[in-house]
Amino acid sequence: MAAAPAAAGSGAGRGRRAAGTVAAWGGWGGRPRPANILLQLRQGQLTGRGLVRAVQFTETFLTERDKQSKWSGIPQLLLKLYATSHLHSDFVECQNILKEISPLLSMEAMAFVTEERKLTQETTYPNTYIFDLFGGVDLLVEILMRPTISIRGQKLKISDEMSKDCLSILYNTCVCTEGVTKRLAEKNDFVIFLFTLMTSKKTFLQTATLIEDILGVKKEMIRLDEVPNLSSLVSNFDQQQLANFCRILAVTISEMDTGNDDKHTLLAKNAQQKKNLSLGPSAAEINQAALLSIPGFVERLCKLATRKVSESTGTASFLQELEEWYTWLDNALVLDALMRVANEESEHSQGASEENGLPHTSTRTQLPQSMKIMHEIMYKLEVLYVLCVLLMGRQRNQVHRMIAEFKLIPGLNNLFDKLIWRKHSASALVLHGHNQNCDCSPDITLKIQFLRLLQSFSDHHENKYLLLNNQELNELSAISLKANIPEVEAVLNTDRSLVCDGKRGLLTRLLQVMKKEPAESSFRFWQARAVESFLRGTTSYADQMFLLKRGLLEHILYCIVDSECKSRDVLQSYFDLLGELMKFNVDAFKRFNKYINTDAKFQVFLKQINSSLVDSNMLVRCVTLSLDRFENQVDMKVAEVLSECRLLAYISQVPTQMSFLFRLINIIHVQTLTQENVSCLNTSLVILMLARRKERLPLYLRLLQRMEHSKKYPGFLLNNFHNLLRFWQQHYLHKDKDSTCLENSSCISFSYWKETVSILLNPDRQSPSALVSYIEEPYMDIDRDFTEE
């Protein structure tokens, strides 16, 4: 998801564990002694022919074989279950049999996921494997779906209790036996039917958990518009149900493989986009539209995301939910840990009560605050993820209007200190098999999901000013007034009733925690991305000064230079943020020069830049653009900065620019271009566009040719650049959003970008500004087709 957020017990994760533990048909470490029967059943299961179910054997035969093979009586129970579950049955005996089967599987499944099973087992085959092999899974699917059959105009009914037993057994079998979840995922009518079982509160949790696992392995994304009465179903969910339903929605509204989106080549993505255009909207887009059409859906999500812990559901219902979830394995591990916290804190409070002569306090009557908080964190995780995906979808502007109207941002601001960025406590919950600092823990995942939401909310959208409070908006106006520049229109248009309240807005709170974050913190990347998104788009002097006055530039430089950050991801996010913060801003360059006040510091800074141009090229671009603007201004303050700033002096040198240009072109190729590194191509173009303005484009191309020859690779670099520019035309000339981004970030009209590329690609070898003029005939290789291999 964009990928979806790390959450307890994802179906795909359990499937992988099962795959690694249970052999295709050999079970848990035993020898396949009753091979003939089991092999035939397995073959029948794969082909649909021959032996496929327990009903094809006599009870006497199964009983005799069970004595040898220790199948725990499961085949015989399935035989009885089949006999008592026919269409005209009252299902009473059927339910009794299910209650006999259920503990045989649930104990095994709990041992499986808690990794407590021993290497040697008394039984050769797991109970769940035998249950599935003798047709138990298919039989339960039939039993559950009996109510869809109409006899003489009347619908059959089975009790909620019986549905729960069926769902529990199916889930436990999915957890322990490889392939069961995938087989269920292929039964599309069954998957759709499962959604209808969520109408009952008694079966909601079991159904939701099973659906989540099934969707986690399903190859084709399910379409929510095929779910009967979806709008009514969702509208009738209470807040807890809606929060749990968001776990399912996370799978249904995220485009496949969005988690690695930056790593996919642009060739592949462009080919996929062309294919998608012919196919129409994707299933994820259809599902997003279906949800947004449900009255009050986004409003309820905003309320869930912003409700305080004290407003969450009462103790009794939550404890009932804990009991419901107790057997749900990975989820139960989370909630079981919460119960341990509750018991420890309850015992502590009881001891204090005895000393004070006060009555005992029971866990069942008073839920500890730490437990309430973790309960709320786990719900908010899923809700924030769904809101984040919707914010990045086709209906982005519609979603933006709604979450602004429903005051999501001020609501999150009020939760910031006590819930979102609270300090870790000794009793903070961690997931099974993880530690407190693991990126998968709910506390950490909530913070990351919160930062991703802020990034999506701010990115190129005027609603970003809702992250401030009224006083901070006034400060932006004062900055513009003092600088004698017009106020940003989006600031003037911001609805003051929808902004953050309190002493600090959400952006300021984020800056405060960012400056306190430990050097090795995994949050630094996401924090920098969230703040950078606030600056993206048309450069705003007031926005930059607002952040500069709060010491952001000095903090970034400290992390890059003094702490000598080693993480490539964090460094890239800092360089990108630094570029947006300094671009065209004389005050920022003065602050930079004041901080980087020795040659030693400057050399460390340059070392960080040069260690990876893919990471730092956006900063190189911003400094190059700023230098060009400053050189064309007649101002004492600007002249002073130009004469004193080490960074501007370094970038102004032609050898420096040529070194950057050569390396930027050399590290990318058409077949390896991604959303992450395509910026290197655009930065190289910026350098050449500015050279063209000064009528120095032929000089730069001639120098590139000389550098090629000095490296003993004549034609290699310029041929590569020619291919990159041809791809640039294909990629950008039909994408309005991308062209707008290039124009806004560079303050160079897109027409100038296009003209420069056309001049460079001119086929006339007599043109002094054409690349082909500098590629010798024997080395010419410019007609290559772009295909994704």
Q: Write down the pLDDT at residue 72.
A: 78
The model's pLDDT over 411-430, given as tens digits with 9 standing for 90+, comes to 999 999 888 998 754 334 44
Residues of the domain holding 736 = 664-788
Whole-number percent of the chain with pLDDT over 90: 50
Q: Write down the pLDDT at residue 320.
A: 53
The model's pLDDT over 582-610, given as tens digits with 9 standing for 90+, comes to 999 999 999 999 999 999 999 999 999 99
Q: Tell me which of 198 and 379 has the higher pLDDT.
A: 198
Would you say residue 414 lies in a domain?
no
Query: Which of 119-128, 249-258, 282-291, 768-777 is the least confident region?
Result: 119-128
List, as one string, the DSSP characters of 379-408.
Answer: HHHHHHHHHHHHHTSTTHHHHHHHHHHTTH
Would you say residue 668 lies in a domain?
yes
What rounded mean pLDDT belongs to the chain? 81
CATH code for position 55: 1.25.10
The model's pLDDT over 692-731, given as tens digits with 9 standing for 90+, comes to 999 999 999 999 999 999 988 888 899 999 999 999 998 8
The model's pLDDT over 492-521, given as tens digits with 9 standing for 90+, comes to 999 999 999 989 999 999 999 999 998 778
Would you say residue 45 lies in a domain?
yes
Q: Which of 168, 187, 215 is the last residue of a domain?
A: 215
CA distance 340 to 371: 10
The model's pLDDT over 608-648, given as tens digits with 9 standing for 90+, comes to 999 989 999 999 999 999 999 999 998 899 999 999 999 99
Instruction: Provide the 8-state DSSP code for 155.
Output: E
Tell me the mean pLDDT in the region 640-663.
96
Highest-pLDDT range among 97-106, 110-119, 146-155, 264-273: 97-106
Would you say residue 480 lies in a domain?
no
| Beta-carbon contacts of residue 736 (< 8 Å; ≥ 6 apart) | none
Tell me the mean pLDDT in the region 477-504.
95
Would you say residue 659 lies in a domain?
no
Would you say residue 614 lies in a domain?
no
CA distance 560 to 547: 18
Q: Tell me which of 156 and 349 has the higher pLDDT.
A: 156
Give yes or no for a contact between 408 and 463, defined as CB atoms under 8 angstroms apart. no
The model's pLDDT over 547-564, given as tens digits with 9 standing for 90+, comes to 999 999 999 999 999 987
Q: Write down the pLDDT at residue 47.
A: 59
Instruction: Give the confidence band of 406 by pLDDT, cuts at 50, 70, 90.
Output: very high
Tell me the mean pLDDT in the region 754-761.
97
Would you say residue 769 lies in a domain?
yes
Instruction: Give the confidence band of 54 by pLDDT, cuts at 50, 70, 90.
Output: low
Q: Is 703 helix (H, G, I), strand (E, B) or coil?
A: helix
Q: What is the pTM of this model?
A: 0.82
Q: Which of 186, 215, 244 is the last residue of a domain?
A: 215
For residue 239, the tally of other CB atoms under 10 A from its CB is 16
Number of domains the chain contains: 2
Q: Tell me which of 158 and 363 has the higher pLDDT.
A: 158
Q: Write down the pLDDT at residue 140.
A: 93
Q: Which of 161, 189, 215 is the last residue of a domain?
A: 215
The model's pLDDT over 113-125, given as tens digits with 9 standing for 90+, comes to 665 444 334 445 6
Q: Is 171 helix (H, G, I), strand (E, B) or coil?
A: helix
Would you say residue 193 lies in a domain?
yes
